[in-house]
Amino acid sequence: MAQESEHGKWTVSSSDESEDERAGCCEKPSTSLLQRDTSGEPRYPCSEARKAAHKRKSSPLEFHEGSSRSEVPPAPKRLSQEGLGWCLSSSDEEDDCKGEVKRGDAGAPSVRQDEGSCAPKEVAVEELSLNQKSAEPSGRVRDTWDLLDGGNPFRFFLTKVKGIKSKYNSGALHIKNILSPLFGTLVSSAQFNYCIDVEWLINQYPKEFRDKPLLIVHGEKRESKADLHNQAKPYQNVSFCQAKLDIAFGTHHTKMMLLCYEEGLRVVIHTSNLIEDDWYQKTQGIWLSPLYPKLPPGTLGTAGESRTNFKSDLITYLMSYKSPTLNEWVEVIKQHDFSETRVCLVGSTPGRYQNNEKEKWGHLRLRKLLKDHATQVPDEDSWPVIGQFSSIGSMGTDQSKWLCSEFRQSLVTLGNSAKSLTNQEVPINLIYPTVDNVRQSLEGYPAGGSLPYSIQTAQKQLWLHSYFHKWSAETSGRSHAMPHIKTYMRVSPDFQKIAWFLVTSANLSKAAWGAFEKNGAQLMIRSYELGVLFLPSEFGLDTGYFQVKESLLSDEPALSFPVPYDLPPEKYESKDRPWIWNIPYTKAPDTHGNMWVPKLKAPVPSETH
């Protein structure tokens, strides 16, 4: 069957019209996708999308002369995708549901300088050598410590990116920074995540902390779970907690660290998987808490609360796992003073919720926080909502099914007013990378392995693509570092102010945010997610908004918010297409001079025009 829109034409055989994402989840683990060291592939459970990326990194398909290079202007000019259709043959039908991945053991190929290759202008080619793949810190951790000590009131950071100008990494963090002894003398830690390379994770801890108790909280089942446990056999200090996923297509997608020190406790909520690939050349976000001191002995566990109720909300989130192991961490949290916390916790946990329980999780949790703590602004009807994400679930046959009904209703709430509760006219701008964004990225086409939007889902919701805007992040030097960060905000018409900002693990899906059942009487959530909400009122501002920082490097007032990408976002042009991971792109080379063909089990279908 063929479908066409202003954003492209797809040819899809009837056998490909699967229900692989009918639940709105793009990232379901697949136990059939276990990769073993014996094959030279990733050591851990891996998605089809990331498996394809790994294959193309380890066995790249060089762009060949058969495709006219005259169609491809030299970089850094942005390319339209004229002539690049989307075609899916029966050989390409596959479940893309896990959607997160691992870099191959072979280093990234050095950036090609062939004529027609589109190396982005920001790429420092000399920094992409085969022998130095890691974006880990160069030993200047003290700079980061000074930055944390009052220089960043929001405590919101990006991860370091290999291959961009060093000035754009000056305020960024690598996982080795976060686990550094400069941040505290580690006693034990808990890592909550989705995709985990145990050996790599252990090696990110300083040597003196590698034998400290480490709890890994995950959602793997059956063979995937056994594989994860096998990874940890060499490490006697590693234990596991399996998150219950009783609703189909759910995932344990939360990304959090609990770091217990001799000096206190720290909480880190972020967007990166615990694999090397996610800390290398992607745009990722981190909220790093203050160091929470211990409360005096005998103090009630309810003491040490913040104005945002962060402590009790974190305890409620951990209790939702119904795990004795995590109850031990709850007791640790009760012993610490969280009063300096300025952010609100926004979580999702699997379940079907009614009455007051509905407002604890998902988009209704965000709605309640915005109702209770956000401030109305003049002309709020003209303040757009921005959503930025790396994966997309099934939205339904039109915008009224979820996006522009219950989900928008939550995101447009500002204070307790009848007007904000009935508003259905607020614009929605969605930021998701185009094919060109991916092709011209630092990683090239394999960056698309962590952007698992499938043809099966996309071809059922052509209406959605009219909301899409390109990825651009000149403000942070990360236009060519593809986003795995997820952010949502309410922005003024001139894009100079924001009423709130959320960084979270939650992609654009009903599985992550929840969807109404029983005519709105029940909210059903499939996955675990976690994020933090920044509200002006919690930072001493009574204006109802933050000013947006013009550039992440600029010397502006401390309470200007560092939105990590460019505003206003640029709408897709008619020839732009959203990145679809499971179709080939062979008409133009990426920054490494290669093509993208996810599978080679059958003749590669040509791109339609």
252 half-sphere exposure, CB direction, 13 A CA radius: 24
Separation in Å, CA 142 to CA 183, 413, 426, 445, 549: 10, 41, 44, 36, 25
Separation in Å, CA 341 to CA 26, 191, 309, 327, 337: 32, 20, 9, 22, 9
For residue 388, the Cα-to-chain-centroid distance in whole angstroms is 9
Which residues are CB-contacts of 606 (< 8 A; sequence separation ≥ 6)?
87, 586
Give the 3-state secondary structure of residue 296.
Answer: coil
Which is nearest to 28 in space by CA: 511, 505, 458, 460?
Answer: 511
Residue 266 CB neighbours (<10 A):
21
Would you say 282 and 484 are in contact if contact means Cβ atoms under 8 Å apart? yes
Which is nearest to 386 in space by CA: 548, 559, 524?
Answer: 548
φ and ψ at residue 221, rounded to 5 degrees: -130, 160
Would you say 226 and 233 are in contact if contact means Cβ atoms under 8 Å apart? no
Largest CA distance in the chain: 75
Give the 3-state secondary structure of residue 324.
Answer: helix
Rounded Cα–Cα distance for residues 422 and 381 (Å): 11
Would you say 461 and 7 are in contact if contact means Cβ atoms under 8 Å apart? no
Separation of first and last alpha carbons in the chain: 15
Q: Is 379 left (phi over 0), alpha (psi -120 to 50) or beta?
A: left
For residue 596, the Cα-to-chain-centroid distance in whole angstroms is 22
Give the 3-state secondary structure of residue 373.
Answer: helix
The H or E element spanning position 318 is helix 310-319
Tell me the torsion sign for CA atoms 578, 581, 584, 588.
positive
253 is catalytic: yes
Give the 3-state secondary structure of residue 401.
Answer: helix
Sheet containing 86-88: give its strands across.
2-5, 8-12, 86-88
Tokens of residue 591, six digits: 């920054």
Give the 3-state secondary structure of residue 345.
Answer: strand
For residue 31, the Cα-to-chain-centroid distance in whole angstroms is 22
507 half-sphere exposure, CB direction, 13 A CA radius: 31
- DSSP state, 74? P
User: 252, 253, 363, 469: which is the annotated catalytic residue?
Assistant: 253
**HEC assignment per residue over 232-250:** CCCCCCEEEEECCCCCCCC
Which is nearest to 181 in space by CA: 152, 155, 212?
Answer: 212
User: 218, 270, 465, 484: which is the annotated catalytic residue?
Assistant: 484
By residue count, the chain amounts to 609
Active-site amino acid positions: 253, 484
